Amino acid sequence: MSLNEIGSMVAMQGFSGLSLFTVLLLMALGLAIIFGQMGVINMAHGEFMAIGAYVVYLFSQLTQNFAPGLREVYFVPAVVAAFFVAAAVGYAVEILLIRRLYKRPLDTLLATWGLSLAMQQFFRTFINPKEVSAELPEWLLGAFNPTPSIQVPRNGIFVMGLTILVTIGVYTLMLKSRWGIRIRATTQNRIMSSAVGINTDRVDRFTFALGCGIAGLAGAAFTTIGSTGPTSGSLYIVDTFLVVVFGGAANLIGTIASAFSIAQAQSLLEFFLTSAMAKVLTLLTIIIILMLRPQGLFTTKVRT
Amino acid sequence: MNLLSKKLSKTDLIGVVVLSAIILVLFPAVFSIFRLNLIGKYLTYAFVGVSLVLLWGNGGILSLGQGVFFGLGGYCMAMFLKLEASDPISTKIQTTPGIPDFMDWNQITKLPLFWMPFKSLTFTLLAILIIPAFFAFIIGVAMFKRRVGGVYFAIITQAVALILSVLIVGQQGLTGGINGITDLKTVHGWDIRSDSAKYILYYVNGALLIGCVLFTRWVLSTKFGMLLLALREKEDRVRFSGYDVANFKTLAFCMSAVMCAIGGAMFTLQVGFMSPSFVGITPSIEMVIYTAVGGRLSVIGAVFGTLLVNFAKTFFSEQYPDLWLFLMGGTFIGVVMLFPDGLAGLYERYGKPFVTRLASKKKDEPSVAVAAALESGGKHG
């Protein structure tokens, strides 16, 4: 094997790690807001991701059946819709369920687990019990060849771009905008925040909806990589929680770093071991590190 | 959360007696051996339910990894039974006779070292108790000493459950993989598949479960039980009073692990196989809902909760399979939002005053009044 070939292989393997990284990161960004900032354990986060994926699928079916000419352009509005539909469902869930459980985090865990079971069955009964995949536009298919031996799939580049965009968006929103200040103030000291005139209930609702909307975006991105089934979301939920905890719950940079290291570690190990053993080793390492450093990789100093 | 009724008072004794009568007399009298065996299986889950009353209801420590201990107990028992079932004569068609069939299918030619001691029944029985306790001790010390608690503990125990189930599935040659360990036949030549053996195992299981119920009630009535309750309410105050909180939490975790393991071992004996589908995340969380439905504070409630959820599961998944997950999801949400104290809470509010009046006219009334006052005064978090 020539040096050039090894180089191309490393590049492609690295890229496959990157695509796991993007899915984990998009999932984790939403959860970092919901769990890291608000302290709500949302076990149904994976199902919000599935909602996003199903919205894209729905758009693709509609275009195919009613307006085949729009095949090249439907994807962009579908991604936007995925965000808003998931956010709207999240908003409703906050009002009906989460709002009443803020003081009982462990109970939130059980209630949202129940929600995730019901949502999975909803997908199974009303959409399709089997896996579905959206009809992708031409510009997302095929691969891009920088050199003759390296092939970078176009959908990977698209997802990467979307992830970067969302990450920058969340970062700006949380750390630079008035809204972000309100969110952080509410999570750090609810009583003081409401005393200075922040409508904390409203902040809670919008924050939760935002987190769910980002999960929806993750789902939309996911449709370009794989097919969506009723339990697709739940496959990632534990990994996502570990990403957020490992990165340091309330820290966005930490979330990015931990999603990157976990995804790369896993794809790298998969190269040497079976995928089951790669997963076991990765998770075990995370747990051991968390036992030594319970606060995670990065911490924000907060007085409570 | 009535401290007074934690002591084995008259009414509680009635509860235990009623439970024993239902398990040991009513069920065997009413159901055929097929249904009874099924109930026996449900009752092995009740061990986990009872262990969670101790750990979660009273200690406030939610472990989402109880399936791990259930599985460890079950697998220890299954390894012993499998070795007995794979003697060289009955496995002579294999490439390597005398090793379990799944090892032979996976081109393993020698019994792995960690399987060796499971040829001995004494070792197996000890292992069922010691391995889960040791495992819980390691996790407990590592987490509680560093003051990892609450939500983080739940997430990490859940990850442990995921790791163990992925590991078992991944190492097919050593563990039987996704199919688990099947085709279990005899204990020292005693056929566990015969009807008479099923009856005996059902009674052993029932007696062990009642033993665990009594043990848990006793533990909760001791000073240790009080401390657990105090930990749940205000951990810092207990710590500032000079107690080493981590040790108490670890002890409670180990106790609950051992109970789960006994349940797992009895599961293997009664059902005749063990598989990773009882180890992972989904069974571990489902077992939490048994306790939640029964009432997280009530040991007896947990047993009834387990039975109720499993009866419902069997009924709905036979009759309306599509409806079952909606119902299960709804139960999770409904119990948490509307009845945080579960069946036992409903009983305390509506049934108990009635029963107490029947049991004794005057004696217990003050304690019920105090209990009711405590109940309404301190809703738990």
Q: What is the ipTM of this complex?
A: 0.84
> Model-level pTM?
0.86
Residue-averaged pLDDT of chain A: 84
Which pLDDT score is estimated for A230?
A: 86
Name the minimum distance, in Å, from the CA of B22 to any CA of chain A. 30
- Sign of the Cα torsion B91, B97, B101, B107 reads negative
Q: Domain coordinates of chain A in residue numbers?
A: 26-237
* The dihedral formed by the CA atoms of A168, A174, A176 and A180, expressed in degrees to the nearest 10: 150
Using the beta-carbon criterion (under 8 Å), do B336 and A114 form an inter-chain contact? yes
Q: Does A39 touch chain B (CB under 8 A)?
A: yes
Kindly determine whether residue B146 and residue A280, on different chains, have CB atoms separated by under 8 Å: no
C-alpha torsion sign, points A158, A162, A163, A164 = positive
The C-alpha of A147 sits at a distance from chain B's nearest C-alpha, in angstroms, of: 37
* Residues in contact with A32: Cβ distance below 8 Å, sequence separation at least 6, in sequence order: A244, A247, A249, A250, A251, A252, A255
- Tell me: pLDDT of A300 over 70: no
The DSSP code for A150 is E
Pair of tokens at residue A256: 């990015």
Q: Which residues contact B203 (CB under 8 A, 6 or more apart)?
A: B24, B28
pLDDT at B4: 44
- CA dist list (Å): B93 to A8, A25, A55, B87, B96: 49, 52, 55, 12, 8
How far apart, in whole angstroms, are the C-alpha atoms of residue B42 and residue B50? 13
Q: Which residue has the higher pLDDT, A105 or A26?
A: A26
Chain A residues touching B335 at Cβ < 8 A: 110
Which chain B residue's Cα is nearest to A276? B170
Mean pLDDT for A37-57 is 90
Q: From the CA of A283, how many Å to the nearest CA of chain B? A: 7
What pLDDT is stored for residue B168 in this prediction?
A: 92
B23 membership: H or E segment, kind and range: none
Query: Which tokens go with B199?
Result: 């009856």
Chain A segment 106-135 residues within 8 A of B by beta carbon are: 106-107, 109-111, 113-122, 124-125
Regarding predicted confidence, which is higher, B322 or A108?
A108
Buried b (16+ CB within 10 A) or exposed e, A278-291: bbbbbbeebbeebb
Predicted confidence at residue A215, as pLDDT, reads: 93
Q: Which of A103, A111, A113 sits opposite B337 (nearest CB)?
A: A111
Nearest-Cα distance to chain B for A89, in Å, is 16
Rg (CA), chain B: 22
pLDDT on residue A13? 66
Token pair of A139 as six digits? 């510009």
Task: Give me the pLDDT at residue B10, please.
Answer: 64
Residues with Cβ within 8 Å of A23's Cβ and at least 6 positions away in sequence, in order, are A159, A218, A221, A222, A225, A236
Nearest to B170 among A100, A242, A277 (CB): A277
Phi first, then psi: what are they for A147, rounded to 5°? -125, 165
Contact state of A110 with B332 under an 8 Å Cβ cutoff: yes
Residues (pLDDT < 50) of chain B are 1-6, 362-381
Of the CA atoms within 13 Å of residue B353, those in its CB half-sphere come to 7
Does A304 score more than 80 pLDDT?
Answer: no
Query: Amino acid letter at B119?
Result: K
**What's the rounded Cα separation, in Å, for the pair B200 and A156?**
60
- Structure confidence by residue, pLDDT tens digits, A220-253: 988 888 788 888 888 888 888 888 888 876 678 8
Residues of B within 8 A of A294 (CB-CB) are: 143, 146-148, 152
